[in-house]
A and B are shown apart, each in its own frame.
Chain A
Amino acid sequence: MDFILLVISSFELLLNPVTLTYVVLGFLIGTIFAAIPGLTATLALALLLPLTYSLNVTTALMACASIYMAGMCGGSITATTINIPGAPSSMMTALEGYPMQQRGQGALALGHASLGSMLGGGLGAILLIILAPFIAKASLLVQTPGKFSLIAFALIVVVAAQRGKIVKAAIAACLGLMLATIGLDSMVPIARLTFGVPALTAGIDLMPVIIGTFAISELLIQAGSIAEHRRMSKEILKAQPIKRRDFIPPLSSVREIGLWCYLKSSVIGYLVGTLPGAGGSMGSFLAYVEAVRTSKNPESFGKGNPKGIAAAESANNAVCGGALVPMLTFGIPGDPITAIVLGVLVINGIQPGPQLLADQAGLVAPMLASLLFSAVILIPLTLFLLGPYFIKIVSIRKDVLYGSIALLAVVGSYVATYSVFQMYLAMVLGILAYFLRKNGFPVITLLLGFILGPNLEDFLRRSLALSNGNPLTFITSLDSLFFIMLTLFFVYFLAIRKPLENPATPIKSS
């Protein structure tokens, strides 16, 4: 209850014009990046990460929360208007939104997407605020072998979630773990695997890894797909104009969708969010499938049914609340955005983990307040005020946009330590991530491997030291056994069992 009161009192911070400006700017940047095909809110956050050095940590976390929420709903703009989802989480929205746009109901489709995002995002944030303190208390009971098994669970599940490319995901995770082992050992003062480079003795910073894997690699990927950009720009110009008065969904249509659909989809999204590596696309897919399954008119889906939009958008925004649960309670990020938020905590000297909510509740509460504020206030407000101009915003000159991104990325990697070495490191990691992505490797597993690697090794060594080298400690310790069983359960459902059939017809991907 104390934590809920703390979150409520944190809304007061939004009355501070500077904080509010950062939150609103973060939301706008997140929306624009998510709306432009090829760019993501993750990229926006990666570019803005260096700037958080100069910001108050509370403000930085609040801005991160608003970017996160915006990133989940911004993708629906191009998904609806030109059938190209701005973000992977809006794939299912495109299935229903674009047929509505073709019928001249694009604004209404965006209105439904916005309402779904608002309710899903709000509900996800409320569930997080209510449940996080309980999960944090439970997490304090996990002992050292359990902590190792939990981190191993997170890594294995992230890899298993990449169905169809599990070997590639495993290699990427190993590469992340390898990068994490470079530098001074945490228990014995010896430098490991520095390859004779003195600058590597202190290890590799999180900043060049994030900027390299998400910003520089993205720049290289986009440089190789300019023909695709030109095609998209033509499609954008062909999009029908959208009028502000058409945005508000009629009450009859909302009734037809039903409160139960919003609630159920939000809970699905929230639960999927708590699962490492699942993300908004899986949340929206499962909620959409559930909406089709329980519908009286399943044949109307794929032809512009607002219920599909409501289900998908409620779920993908509820993912935000769910994904912050493992990050705040165990220090385990579930997706790239929470990994970067974790980076903001780390670079400010705050150790995420079970103690975070107990020791730093004052820092976390404003972030959750900002998440709720972004969902309930900023999503509908942005749509209403900027909706008619979205297409103009999305058709911004790509050459200048990428020129600015390149400058922010490379200079951003310098500002953390004022070291040119970090710039080289970001570039090398960016090139590595580029080739990984070109060959179908998911870089999220690399990032999670890098972030979770030090703790994984630390808890492994501590567990074995405490048990005099007996590996059975991982089975005899009940919490560890629980996570091992959980790992087997998820591996079965994610990697071995036959997947759910996709009810979607093929659509263009961004």
Chain B
Amino acid sequence: MSFIPITKSKRLVFPLFLLAFCLLYFISSISLGVPLEDGRLTPAFFPLTLGVISTAFAVIFLVRTIRKTHNEEGSEPPQRELAEKNIERLRPFFVIGATTIYIILFPAVGYFLSSLFYVFSIIVIFSDFKKIFTKSTLTTAVVILGYLLFEQVFRVRLPALWG
């Protein structure tokens, strides 16, 4: 019996997630009741059918990924390249983190403060911590422009710090 190394098994995470998602959907649609009643389709029919089809496709995708992972010959990139790639790989997660904090702050502290934090974070994630003053100025300009666009041009009410 041959095992898949940990580095390669990471590739199975997404197919497994998709399969779990499809199965969860399928199981939830079973709880909607019978698919047919007096010869008529019920609200459960379509989700149930969809659950079966999507689970089947997710299984095919998982099997294909396992086969591909087994057939590939592994060669580890050099250590330095690996470190650079790791930083590159982490950036999207920093963006997700900054966005989550922004959505939490947005109704609590209002548009201006939360947006200043958010835009500045994104600018730093997409560049570095150098020239902080220039970046802060640009952040302020973007946030003010955003305010003018939403609130003044398109008359959208944005949350404020007080009321």
A469 in the interface, Cβ–Cβ < 8 Å?
yes
Of the candidates A168, A185, A411, A464, the one having the most CB atoms from chain B within 10 angstroms of its own CB is A411
Chain A proximity of B112: nearest CB distance (Å): 12
A398-B47 contact given A178-B54, A420-B103, A460-B41, CB 8 Å threshold: no
Chain A proximity of B43: nearest CB distance (Å): 4
Task: Please pick, from A188, A402, A404, the residue contacting B146 in the complex, using a CB distance under 8 A.
Answer: A404
**Interface set of B (CB-CB < 8 Å, partner A):** 14, 17-18, 21-22, 25, 28-29, 32, 36, 39-43, 45-47, 50, 53-54, 57-58, 60-61, 64, 84, 88-89, 91-92, 94-96, 99-100, 102-103, 106-107, 111, 115, 118-120, 122-127, 135, 138-139, 142-143, 145-146, 149-150, 153-158
A192-B94 contact given A227-B88, A407-B143, A439-B14, CB 8 Å threshold: no
A181-B47 contact given A54-B154, A167-B57, A192-B32, CB 8 Å threshold: yes
Judge whether A223 and B95 touch: CB under 8 Å.
yes
A400 in the interface, Cβ–Cβ < 8 Å?
yes
Q: Residue of B at shortest CB range from A400?
A: B138
Judge whether A167 and B47 touch: CB under 8 Å.
no
A400-B150 contact given A171-B18, A427-B100, CB 8 Å threshold: no
Taking CB atoms, residues of chain B closer than 8 Å to A411 are: 111, 115, 146, 150, 158
Task: Please pick, from B41, B125, B145, the residue contacting A461 in the complex, using a CB distance under 8 A.
Answer: B41
A492 in the interface, Cβ–Cβ < 8 Å?
no
Chain A 148-187: CB-based contact to B (< 8 A → 1; otherwise 0):
0000000000000000000110110011011001000101
Taking CB atoms, residues of chain A closer than 8 Å to B92 are: 220-221, 223-224, 434
Q: How far is the CA of A222 from the CA of B91 in the complex (A)?
A: 9
Task: Please pick, from A54, A221, A222, A225, the residue contacting B156 in the complex, using a CB distance under 8 A.
Answer: A54
A407-B53 contact given A171-B18, A216-B99, A415-B156, CB 8 Å threshold: no
Of the candidates A174, A216, A407, A469, the one having the most CB atoms from chain B within 10 angstroms of its own CB is A407
Judge whether B50 and A410 touch: CB under 8 Å.
no
A171-B40 contact given A223-B125, A411-B150, A424-B103, CB 8 Å threshold: no
Taking CB atoms, residues of chain A closer than 8 Å to B61 are: 167-168, 171
Q: How far is the CA of A216 from the CA of B146 in the complex (A)?
A: 17
Task: Please pick, from A53, A400, A465, the residue contacting B142 in the complex, using a CB distance under 8 A.
Answer: A400
Judge whether B94 and A223 touch: CB under 8 Å.
yes
Chain A proximity of B62: nearest CB distance (Å): 10
Chain A proximity of B76: nearest CB distance (Å): 19
Taking CB atoms, residues of chain B closer than 8 Å to A408 are: 146
Judge whether A188 and B40 touch: CB under 8 Å.
no
Taking CB atoms, residues of chain A closer than 8 Å to B36 are: 469
Chain B proximity of A147: nearest CB distance (Å): 15
Judge whether B96 and A457 touch: CB under 8 Å.
no
Task: Please pick, from B84, B91, B106, the residue contacting A420 in the complex, using a CB distance under 8 A.
Answer: B106
A219 in the interface, Cβ–Cβ < 8 Å?
yes
Judge whether B60 and A167 touch: CB under 8 Å.
yes
Q: Which 3 A-B pairs have the closest CB atoms?
A: A174-B54, A54-B154, A399-B126
Taking CB atoms, residues of chain B closer than 8 Å to A431 are: 96
Q: How far is the CA of A457 from the CA of B42 in the complex (A)?
A: 11
Task: Please pick, from B18, B46, B54, B125, the residue contacting A457 in the complex, using a CB distance under 8 A.
Answer: B46
Taking CB atoms, residues of chain A closer than 8 Å to B124 are: 399
Of the candidates A178, A415, A418, the one having the most CB atoms from chain B within 10 angstroms of its own CB is A178
Judge whether A403 and B142 touch: CB under 8 Å.
yes
A214 in the interface, Cβ–Cβ < 8 Å?
no
Chain A proximity of B91: nearest CB distance (Å): 4
Judge whether A188 and B91 touch: CB under 8 Å.
no
Taking CB atoms, residues of chain B closer than 8 Å to A51 are: 149, 154
Q: How far is the CA of A190 from the CA of B135 in the complex (A)?
A: 51
Q: How far is the CA of A479 from the CA of B101 in the complex (A)?
A: 52
A407-B115 contact given A51-B154, A418-B157, CB 8 Å threshold: yes
Taking CB atoms, residues of chain B closer than 8 Å to A310 are: none
Judge whether B46 and A181 touch: CB under 8 Å.
yes
Q: How far is the CA of A402 from the CA of B94 in the complex (A)?
A: 14
Q: How far is the CA of A175 from the CA of B25 in the complex (A)?
A: 10
Q: How far is the CA of A53 from the CA of B150 in the complex (A)?
A: 11
Q: How far is the CA of A190 from the CA of B44 in the complex (A)?
A: 10
A493 in the interface, Cβ–Cβ < 8 Å?
no
Judge whether B127 and A406 touch: CB under 8 Å.
no
Judge whether B118 and A465 touch: CB under 8 Å.
no
Chain A 306-342: CB-based contact to B (< 8 A → 1; otherwise 0):
0000000000000000000000000000000000000
A193 in the interface, Cβ–Cβ < 8 Å?
yes
Judge whether B106 and A225 touch: CB under 8 Å.
no
Judge whether B14 and A435 touch: CB under 8 Å.
yes
A483 in the interface, Cβ–Cβ < 8 Å?
no
Taking CB atoms, residues of chain B closer than 8 Å to A167 are: 57, 60-61, 64
Task: Please pick, from B57, B99, B125, the residue contacting A410 in the complex, using a CB distance under 8 A.
Answer: B99
Task: Please pick, from B22, B119, B149, the residue contacting A406 in the complex, using a CB distance under 8 A.
Answer: B119
Chain A proximity of B145: nearest CB distance (Å): 8
Task: Please pick, from A402, A439, A469, the residue contacting B126 in the complex, using a CB distance under 8 A.
Answer: A402
Chain A 256-288: CB-based contact to B (< 8 A → 1; otherwise 0):
000000000000000000000000000000000
Judge whether B107 and A420 touch: CB under 8 Å.
yes
Judge whether B29 and A193 touch: CB under 8 Å.
yes
Residues from 126 to 163 in A contacting B, C-beta threshold 8 Å: none
